[in-house]
Chains A and B, each alone.
Chain A
Amino acid sequence: GAVVSQHPSWVICKSGTSVKIECRSLDFQATTMFWYRQFPKQSLMLMATSNEGSKATYEQGVEKDKFLINHASLTLSTLTVTSAHPEDSSFYICSARGPRAGQISYNEQFFGPGTRLTVL
């Protein structure tokens, strides 16, 4: 149990285009999902926290108009990189947390396999 998927696993796009990355919790309902960015040989940096049915909370320094996050259902959150540029090339990872009561451990985040974005 507690499987999180991401799609696509890798994507190459031209500068100026938009790219959408999906994060799905396959066997549990995720009230909260998190989006991270990881540069080569660096740690994970939290970009935003996404709560189902409400606006995402962005970390300081993250442009919310550039990184659009939608969490329309309890099993799906999407990250759209708008007008992508080469500096947006990175590894994007999502994680999902279950609700406070019931189901699986409420205080654990389950990570997706990540999406490698390359902007030419």
Chain B
Amino acid sequence: AQTVTQSQPEMSVQEAETVTLSCTYDTSESDYYLFWYKQPPSRQMILVIRQEAYKQQNATENRFSVNFQKAAKSFSLKISDSQLGDAAMYFCAYRSADFNTDKLIFGTGTRLQVFP
């Protein structure tokens, strides 16, 4: 069974600075997807970034980028130029590429605080 681990329950960053959130996972599959979701106080889940395991290039979405290390099963999220609106819970998630078993498996989350 696949597992996702987020070892940082809480992180904080100064506005405009950079912060990295860690995520590791365990799987025996070779093809899968990894996601970072943001859950602000409204509790609406928002997709931040997605990485396909077959792609070596790290995904980037504006200020958000990932460091995907497939051999190490590591998938960290870097937030550059942090903004007050980035404060939220961040969940790392795993999904099999098998369309028939594609449920999302979430980590326990990291609460990010952004200080002005």
Contacts and interface: CB of A to CB of B under 8 A. Distances in A.
Contacts of A38: 43
B103 to A, nearest CB: 6
A97 B102 CA distance: 10
Contacts of A109: 104
B47 interface: yes
Interface residues of A, number: 20
Contacts, number: 43
Contact of B44 (A45, A100, A111): A111
A46 B104 contact: yes
A43 B107 contact: yes
A38 B45 CA distance: 12
Nearest to A45: B106
Nearest to A100: B99
A43 B91 contact: yes
**Chain A CB within 10 Å, residue with most, of B50, B104, B109:** B104
A113 B50 CA distance: 20
Given A44-B45, A44-B104, 5 more contacts: A34-B103, A42-B108, A49-B103, A107-B99, A107-B102
Interface of B: 33, 42-47, 50, 91, 95, 97, 99, 102-109
